[in-house]
Amino acid sequence: MASFPLEVADLACRRGGRKVFERLSFTLGSGELLALVGRNGSGKTTLLRALALLVRPEAGSIHWQGKDVRAEPEAWRGRLAWLGHLEGLKGDLTVAENLLAAERLRGAPPAENRLDSALVAFDLPPLAARPVRTLSAGQRRRTALARVVLTQAPLWLLDEPLNALDAPAQSAFRTALKKHLAAGGLAIAATHADLGVPGRTLELA
C-alpha cells in the first residue's frame, strides 16, 4: 500500500496558453488538510480542477493509494466531493431535492437516511422545502457544503469554501471539516482566508 493515499508528482497545467504551474508535487495523508494559497491567477482553482479531472494536466501524475486516477476516472470521481465557485444547484428544486438529486447523479446509494444529518450540519432544516432560487447567497453556499458532507467522500476539493458565509456558517463549516478529518478524510481547499483548521499550506506563485 502507498505511504500516502494521495500522491501528486510533477504536475504541470496551462490556462489560456499560459503555464500556471509546473513540477508541482505533494502528498496528502489520511486526516490531513492542505490549504492552497496564492494571488489571483496563481493556479489554485486550476489545480483543484486538475485533481478532479475537469482539466487535463500538461504533465505529471495523480495517484490514489498507488494507482493512477486517470486509469479509472469514474471511480476516482466517486471518491471526491467537489465545491467550486458556483454552487451547481438547480433553482427550481428545493434544498432537500438538490442534495438527493446530486447523490443520484453520483450513482451513490439512496441518501434519504443521511439527509437529515447533512442538513443539520449547516442549519438547513428550516429551508429544506424552499426552492433554491429563493435563497440568499449564503444559504446557497450552505446548501452546497451540505452536499459535500452528504457524499461521505474521502477527499474534499473546496474552492474558497468560506465565500458568502456569515460567522455562524463559517463555524459550522469548520466543525464539519474537523469531523471529516478526524474520521480519516482528506481535504484540499483553495482559500484567501484562514480556514481556522490546522493543516499544511501550499503556496502557488
Rounded-to-integer distance, Cα 5 and Cα 11, Å: 17
Mean of pLDDT values over 151-161:
97
Give the chain's mean pLDDT: 95
pLDDT digits (tens, 9 = 90+) for 74-92: 999 999 999 999 999 999 9
Q: Are 33 and 197 in contact (CB under 8 A)?
A: yes
Secondary structure class of 199 (helix, strand, coil): coil
Mean of pLDDT values over 15-34:
94
* Burial status of residue 14 (CB atoms within 10 A of its CB: 0-12, 13-18, 19 or more): middle
Domains delineated in the chain: 6-192 (3.40.50.300)
Looking at the predicted structure, is the pLDDT value of residue 1 above 50?
no
Torsion sign over Cα 33, 82, 176, 29? negative
Q: Are 127 and 95 in contact (CB under 8 A)?
A: yes
Q: What CA–CA distances, in Å, run from 133 to 104, 114, 204?
A: 21, 24, 35
* Burial status of residue 77 (CB atoms within 10 A of its CB: 0-12, 13-18, 19 or more): middle
Looking at the predicted structure, is the pLDDT value of residue 57 above 90?
yes
Torsion sign over Cα 177, 2, 69, 100? negative
pTM for the predicted model, two decimal places: 0.95
